[in-house]
Structure formats: structure tokens, C-alpha cells
Structure 1
Amino acid sequence: MTTQDDTTALTEVMEQMSEAWGRNDADAYGASFTADATYVTFVGTYYSGRADIVACHRTLFAKFLKNTKLASEITDIRFYGPDTAVVTSRGDTYKGATPPKASKLSKVQSCTFVREGDGQWRIAAFQNTQRKPLMEAISFKTAPGTIPAAQRQ
């Protein structure tokens, strides 16, 4: 049975990931993932295993994402048994002191969490998708049936 403590623990893992990102600490970032985790970036690159995720982020933090921070907002947490959860969030990278407003976060993430044998929640699968607001607007206008239920209210 899941508890409020489990929800808090998942939220803390997401916060620890953001903090590790803000330090450009690939090892700490990777600690949030299972040893055999899968990671799909917004450009479609697929990484397999914590070591691959850490190595990739070590390079990204030294080059393209140097001195960036990670803004995120959890939009949904769902439990599928006592040791599995799916967390959906919005996020984006930024530089400077002020994170972007939640409405400006350009990516949507889906994280499948598992509680491992040591009792810690870790990400087993991560999918990051770049939002395309113009394409969404066109789709919603020309095919209203594609509008998500939460946005129709």
C-alpha cells in the first residue's frame, strides 16, 4: 500500500535530480536512476543503464548544458502497486537566478519509478518530450477531439 510518505519520497527524488543538475553533478543526477534504467531524451537519443546516463550527462554538463539549472513541476503521480509509480512532469533548463514560469516549461517527462530492495525509489524509465505548442494549436483547431479532457473543461 502506498502512503503520503511515498508521494513525498518521489517528490524528493525529483528535487534531488534538479539540485544535482544545478550543480552539474552527473554522478548525483545518475544516482536517481536504477542500474538498468532507460533514458530517452527530447531529441530521441536512447541511453541504457545508469553508467550510460551518467557518462552522457557528464559530457552535457561540460558542454551544451554547462551552468544550467533544471526547472520542473510535477503534474501527476500514480501508483501501480506498492513499489511502482509513474510521475509526469513538465520541465526545462535555464540559466540565471530565475526559473521559467510553469506555463513556459517546454518539455514533458514521464518517469517510471520502482522501489528497490534498499527501500529507495529510483527511476527505471525516463522519457522526455519537447512540446510543440504551434502544432498542438493547429491540431486542436482542426481536430477538436484531440484536445486533452483536462483542457476541455
Structure 2
Amino acid sequence: MSAASTTPARENDTAAIRALLESSAAAWARGDGAGYGAHFTEDATDVTFTGTVYHGPAEIGGAHQALFDSFLKGTHLTVDLLDLRFPGPDTAIAVTRGEVHKGARPRRLGKLATYTLIRTAGGDWRIAAVQKTKHRPLTEALTFHTRPKTRPAPRPAA
């Protein structure tokens, strides 16, 4: 996290954003599409790791409900916050590692997501955009081996 995140206000914002992500994962675990969609702003975009783009909480929630009622039935969403920064007083960017799974927490979290979050007029944080991608460790390792300058610098945990 950036140095700005260590102020008491940023500590509160960080806790609120963690709570938002945990709440969205809890809605997922309940199979509650509308509850999941409620974590997004009215003009939000959700880009899935398959490349589908959903807009707004109703569409995001409705699409997820269809998934929860079918092949995502009984699944859980695990999300670990890797990086959080605040480019403005009411804007945050979070990078997470996660996985959709049944049962116990998976050993490997193979998906990454970048969230753009905003503070609403009421003071709550909401997801304005999320972009998900699958982590490809073998491709990444090969790239780092053949082109060492592509390896990013180590970063402290969020």
C-alpha cells in the first residue's frame, strides 16, 4: 500500500474496502445475485475473466444469479487483497488474487482482479469497475526466465 494508506483516515478506508470485498464474497456464497450486484455503482462495469462485460448492479446481479443457479451453485469466492492505493480522496484501486471454489479455501488463488472503487455521496465505498484475469504462472515463469527485465519489483503486502 502507498504511504498515504497509513493515516487514520486511510486505515478506515482500507477497513471499509476490505469489508466491501468480504461482503460481496458473502453474497456470492449465499448465491445472492442481487446482493452481489448491490456492491456496484449504478454505472459500474464488471469484465469477467472470459471477457464478458456487464453494466450496472441489476445486470451484474442478474447475470450472477443465473450463474449461481447453475454451474456456480454452492461455490465460494475467496479474495485476498494484494495492493491498495488511493489516487484521490474518494477513489481507490485494489489488486486482488482470488478463486471461485467449493468447500475449503483453495491452496492456489489463480485469478487476479483489479477493482476501481469510489466513495459514494453517502460515504460508503462501492465497486465502479472490476477487471478479472486468469493467472498463468507457467507463461509468467517462462517470460521472466527468457526476459528477466519483465519481472516486476517486489511489493509489500497490502
Q: 1:99 maps to which residue? A: 105
Q: Size of the alignment, in residue pairs?
A: 148
Q: Deviations over 1:50-108 (max 9, x none)?
A: 11101110111011211000111001110111100001100001101x1013xx10000
Q: Deviations over 1:7-38 (max 9, x none)?
A: 11000000001111111111111111001100
Q: 1:136 maps to which residue? A: 140
Q: 1:32 maps to which residue? A: 39
* Distance in 2 of aligned mates of 1:108 and 1:148: 15
* Distance in 1 of aligned mates of 2:10 and 2:130: 23
* Distance in 2 of aligned mates of 1:25 and 1:55: 10
TM-score computed with the length of structure 2 as normaliser: 0.90
Letter in structure 1 aligned against 2:119: R
TM-score computed with the length of structure 1 as normaliser: 0.93
How far is the alpha carbon of 1:49 from its aligned partner? 1.4
* CA RMSD in angstroms, aligned pairs only: 1.3
Letter in structure 1 aligned against 2:65: R
Structure 2 residue runs without a partner (length 5+): 1-6
Q: 1:20 maps to which residue? A: 27
* Distance in 1 of aligned mates of 2:56 and 2:27: 18
SS of match in other structure, 1:65: coil
Could you list the structure 1 runs, at least 4 aligned residues long, displaced by more than 6 angstroms after superposition. none
What fraction of aligned residue pairs are identical, expressed as a percent? 46
* Distance in 2 of aligned mates of 1:67 and 1:24: 7
